[in-house]
């Protein structure tokens, strides 16, 4: 049996594909979202009996080797080795590599070179006087020996030639073709820089703490170096090479993958130290974007493990801008996103060192959804007590909602935004539909959207109670006492209705409408002539659930504000108390929304 057949026979395509795609059993097959094109409904199938895969959307298909070649951009020999590693089979060193891809040997040599460099840097950190000074800096940052070893942190010495000399011996073992071939490989590695004026080569990383960057398979493919002093740039990264494309790698993803799958969400941070700090706190499902803005390639990598993410970038202006750019990309790909903005202007590393991992976990659990985060930011920069301010805040949020691919979810989110800003849901949803169907990035919701509108629930309840005043005596007191009418256009009508009934007076329309303005009278009589059958008791109960859900959303808004105020004051006991109340209210709201069958009011 050939090595190829031996590996294919040992490999379970469901298990191999399952390392990249979330699969669910569907009859005899397994289904998931295709990793090779953007889709929201699973059309990617894996056939365990035949050991093949096929996407009914984009048409790609093949065996386990073809899948690994496509998903990891590998040649066949590289894919064979990757699958062999997964099943514990050793492939002979010379298995026909050149016949398949002349670049395969170069990539294999670069992997070995980077692994050797990682070991060199780690040795310098603990084995030299210069390195031990760098280790003292890391110790001041709270990094234990265990953490330094787990993340393979190292140090690049300052003379600029030490790594080059060390790798010369490694190059002789992995490269054939003499000095010219060795020089060519070093240049491709990005580990060296050529000084044209002096015609000499020197180490790219000098006097820097080194962070090895691994791909999702755990192989070191690049490095980041942090300056110890005031040298700029603060962080220096490897250039792109045949084994490293910045926009397709996430720092720590190789170690975080299992935890992300288990917990079904990813924490996304900006910096290497942020990622290490969060992971060292026992929160393993964290990755960093390697010193670059989040890219589509990185989002596709995240989607292999989970489509839920908490964005925890720095709270400064650059971090806020990066958060908003990332949200736009994540929403387009159908991710469920939350945002954790830490108080005090602190990044995750600084916050955990100052307040501890327990406080971080509390805030992580309380992270608001992206719609609440964006709405809070928009409300903070617009005067939402005015119609113009409400519209301005909505116009700031709507472009993000327009990127949500699911139209039903878009409509639901638009309803939440309208409720939060007290806007006309119909006009807001219409503008969102127009925006979602075009390539426009701006919205032009008009100020009349901020005018208060009467809901179907109000109209039908008002008509039902006027026509059945015994029912009014039963329901009106609880509607008022429970605060279900607060902020409604029809609140004054219901209030007068209750006052008349409590005085034992008739609440005939002609009596009810006496003190009202012309506009409120119009609303009152439109409700009485509402062109539907009077609601039965079941429909009335659903309308009451709608009003209770509306009240719960208003209370949640107030609690979110109170939580943020408590966080700013660092009153953690108050934060815990408010978060418990918020969690209870969210559970109540979910129950109300599940019980309500009427979707449009």
Q: Which residues of 528-541 are buried (b: 16+ CB within 10 A; e: fewer)?
A: eebeeeebeeebbe
Q: Calculate the CA 363 to chain-centre distance.
A: 16
CA distance between the termini of the chain: 68
Residue 32 DSSP label: E
Q: Do residues 352 and 379 both lie within one domain?
A: no
3-class SS of residue 336: strand
In a domain, 198, yes or no: yes
CATH of the domain at 86: 3.90.580.10
Domain span at residue 171? 104-227
Q: Do residues 108 and 188 both lie within one domain?
A: yes
Q: Do residues 424 and 463 both lie within one domain?
A: no
d(CA 567, CA 115): 44
Strands (E), 277-372: 286-288, 308-311, 336-339
In a domain, 73, yes or no: yes
Closest CA to 339 of 366, 307, 300: 366
In a domain, 236, yes or no: no
In a domain, 233, yes or no: no
Q: Do residues 109 and 168 both lie within one domain?
A: yes
Q: At what angle do helices 456-467 and 491-502 cross, to 10 degrees?
A: 20
Q: Do residues 74 and 153 both lie within one domain?
A: no
In this predicted structure, what is the pLDDT of residue 469? 85
What residues have CB less than 8 Å from 544, skipping those under 6 apart?
461, 475, 479, 484
Closest CA to 573 of 563, 558, 582: 563
d(CA 200, CA 192): 10
**Adjacent-strand bridge partners of 235:** 226
In this predicted structure, what is the pLDDT of residue 273? 96
In a domain, 407, yes or no: yes
CB 343 within 8 A of CB 312: no
In a domain, 534, yes or no: yes
Averaged confidence pLDDT in the chain: 87
Which backbone phi and psi does 422 adopt, to 5 degrees?
60, 55
- Helix H, strand E, coil C: the string for 480-510 is HHCCCCCCCCCHHHHHHHHHHHHCCCCCCHH
d(CA 161, CA 180): 18
In this predicted structure, what is the pLDDT of residue 101? 59
CB 567 within 8 A of CB 575: yes
Q: Which of 450, 483, 507 is the last residue of a domain?
A: 450
Q: Calculate the CA 518 to chain-centre distance.
A: 49
Q: Do residues 462 and 590 both lie within one domain?
A: yes
Q: Which of 367, 389, 410 is the last residue of a domain?
A: 367
3-class SS of residue 164: helix
Residue 89 DSSP label: -
In this predicted structure, what is the pLDDT of residue 139? 94
CB 288 within 8 A of CB 271: yes
Q: Do residues 211 and 173 both lie within one domain?
A: yes
CB 114 within 8 A of CB 31: no
In a domain, 497, yes or no: yes
Q: Do residues 389 and 363 both lie within one domain?
A: no
Q: Which two tokens stand for residue 163?
A: 């790594």
Q: Do residues 121 and 151 both lie within one domain?
A: yes
The pLDDT averaged over each successive group of 10 residues in the chain (601 residues) is: 86 92 91 88 92 92 94 87 88 54 81 96 94 93 95 95 91 78 89 83 94 94 92 92 93 95 95 96 94 85 92 91 93 93 92 94 92 90 86 90 86 85 81 69 53 78 87 90 87 89 82 83 81 79 89 84 81 86 85 57 40
CATH of the domain at 541: 1.10.860
CATH of the domain at 314: 3.40.1360.10
Number of domains in the chain: 5
Q: Do residues 571 and 493 both lie within one domain?
A: yes
Q: Which of 330, 348, 367 is the last residue of a domain?
A: 367
CB 220 within 8 A of CB 115: yes
d(CA 18, CA 11): 12
Closest CA to 382 of 397, 361, 364, 399: 397
Residue 204 DSSP label: S
d(CA 214, CA 253): 8
Q: Is 346 exposed, middle or buried (0-12, 13-18, 19+ CB in 10 A)?
A: middle
d(CA 272, CA 280): 12
In this predicted structure, what is the pLDDT of residue 166? 92
Q: Do residues 510 and 554 both lie within one domain?
A: yes
As a 3-state breakdown, the chain gives helix, strand, coil percent values, each rounded to 5, of: 55, 10, 35
Q: Do residues 109 and 88 both lie within one domain?
A: no
Q: Residue 474, preceding bond cis, omega within 30 degrees?
A: no
In a domain, 600, yes or no: no
């Amino acid at each position: 049996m050939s090595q190829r057949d031996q590996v294919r026979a040992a490999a379970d395509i469901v298990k191999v594909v399952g390392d990249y795609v979330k699969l669910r059993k569907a009859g005899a097959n397994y289904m998931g979202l295709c990793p090779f094109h953007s889709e929201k409904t699973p059309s990617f199938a894996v056939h365990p009996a035949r050991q093949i895969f096929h996407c009914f959307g984009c048409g790609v298909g093949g065996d386990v080797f073809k899948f690994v070649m496509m998903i990891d951009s590998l040649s066949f020999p590289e894919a064979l080795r990757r699958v062999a590693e997964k099943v514990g089979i050793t492939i002979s060193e010379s298995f026909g590599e050149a016949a398949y891809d002349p670049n395969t040997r170069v990539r294999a040599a670069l992997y070995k070179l980077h692994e050797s460099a990682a070991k060199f840097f780690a040795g310098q950190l603990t084995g030299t006087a210069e390195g031990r000074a760098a280790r003292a800096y890391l110790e001041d940052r709270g990094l234990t020996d265990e953490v330094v070893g787990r993340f393979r942190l190292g140090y690049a010495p300052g003379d600029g030639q030490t790594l080059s000399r060390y790798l010369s011996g490694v190059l002789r073992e992995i490269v054939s073709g003499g000095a010219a071939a060795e020089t060519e490989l070093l240049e491709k590695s990005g580990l060296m820089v050529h000084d044209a004026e002096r015609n000499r080569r020197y180490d790219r990383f000098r006097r820097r703490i080194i962070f090895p960057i691994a791909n999702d398979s755990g192989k070191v493919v690049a490095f980041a170096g942090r300056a110890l002093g005031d040298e700029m740039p603060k962080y220096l990264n490897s250039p792109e090479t045949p084994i490293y494309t910045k926009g397709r790698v996430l720092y720590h993803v190789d170690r975080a993958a299992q935890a992300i799958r288990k917990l079904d969400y990813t924490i996304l941070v900006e910096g290497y130290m942020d990622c290490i700090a969060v992971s060292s706190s026992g929160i393993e499902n964290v990755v960093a974007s390697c010193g670059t803005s989040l890219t589509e390639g990185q989002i596709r990598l995240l989607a292999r493990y989970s489509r839920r993410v908490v964005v925890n970038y720095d709270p400064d202006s650059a971090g806020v801008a990066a958060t908003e750019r990332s949200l736009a990309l994540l929403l387009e790909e159908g991710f469920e996103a939350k945002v954790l903005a830490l108080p005090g202007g602190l990044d995750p590393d600084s916050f955990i060192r100052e307040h501890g991992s327990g406080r971080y976990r509390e805030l992580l659990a309380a992270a608001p959804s992206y719609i609440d985060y964006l709405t809070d930011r928009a409300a903070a920069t617009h005067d939402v007590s005015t119609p113009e301010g409400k519209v301005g805040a909505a116009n700031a949020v709507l472009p993000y909602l327009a990127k949500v691919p699911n139209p039903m979810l878009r409509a639901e989110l638009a309803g939440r935004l309208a409720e939060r800003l007290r806007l006309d849901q119909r006009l807001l949803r219409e503008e969102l539909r127009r925006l979602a169907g075009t390539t426009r990035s701006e919205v032009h919701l008009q100020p009349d959207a901020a005018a208060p509108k009467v809901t179907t629930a109000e109209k039908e309840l008002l008509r039902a109670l006027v026509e059945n005043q015994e029912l009014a005596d039963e329901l009106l007191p609880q509607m008022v006492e429970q605060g279900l009418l607060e902020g409604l256009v029809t609140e004054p009508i219901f209030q007068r209705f209750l006052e008349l009934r409590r005085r034992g007076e008739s609440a005939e329309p002609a009596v009810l409408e006496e003190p009202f303005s012309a506009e409120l009278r119009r609303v009152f009589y439109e409700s009485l002539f509402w062109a539907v059958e009077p609601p039965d008791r079941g429909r009335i109960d659903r309308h009451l659930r709608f009003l209770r859900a509306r009240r719960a959303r208003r209370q949640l808004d107030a609690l979110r504000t109170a939580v943020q105020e408590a966080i700013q004051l660092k009153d953690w006991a108050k934060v815990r108390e408010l978060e418990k109340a918020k969690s209870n209210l969210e559970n109540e709201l979910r129950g109300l929304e599940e019980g309500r069958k009427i979707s449009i009011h």
